[in-house]
Amino acid sequence: MLIEESAVATQIFLRLLMALIALGVFGGIITNALILWRTKSLVTLSGEESLSRGERKGRQFSRASTFFTDIRFKRLRIAMFASLGLCVSSFALLILIDGLSR
């Protein structure tokens, strides 16, 4: 009876970890969408239409790179790295527990 209860508890824990991985991936997608929206790195601003394609892409990349240095995006950086950490740690625990339970 003890082995069956342990197997059920392991299965529940593995499913919880899979849900945490999904939550981390979803949070990462939302965070990346917010980063792209707030930095305006996907749009061509007025006055940039006359520039070459390479110059426009360079300016868009420059706007996106401010995400890592500007104080306005501190909470978004924290959310992004937290969702990444949640995914990685949940996946590592999932692999560890699955390996130990076999």
- Provide the whole-model pTM: 0.79
pLDDT digits (tens, 9 = 90+) for 47-85: 888 888 899 888 888 888 888 888 999 999 999 999 999
Q: Please, what is the Cα angle at 67 between 33 and 84, to 5 degrees?
A: 60
pLDDT tens digit string along 15-48? 999 999 999 999 999 999 999 899 888 888 888 8
What single-letter DSSP state applies at residue 68? G
Residue 8 pLDDT = 86
The beta-carbon contacts of 64-67 under 8 Å, at least 24 apart in sequence, are 64/35, 64/36, 64/39, 66/39, 67/35, 67/39
Q: Alpha-carbon distance 87 to 25, whole Å?
A: 7
Task: Name the residue ranges covered by the structural domains of the chain.
Answer: 13-101
Judge contact between 47 and 74, C-beta under 8 A. no
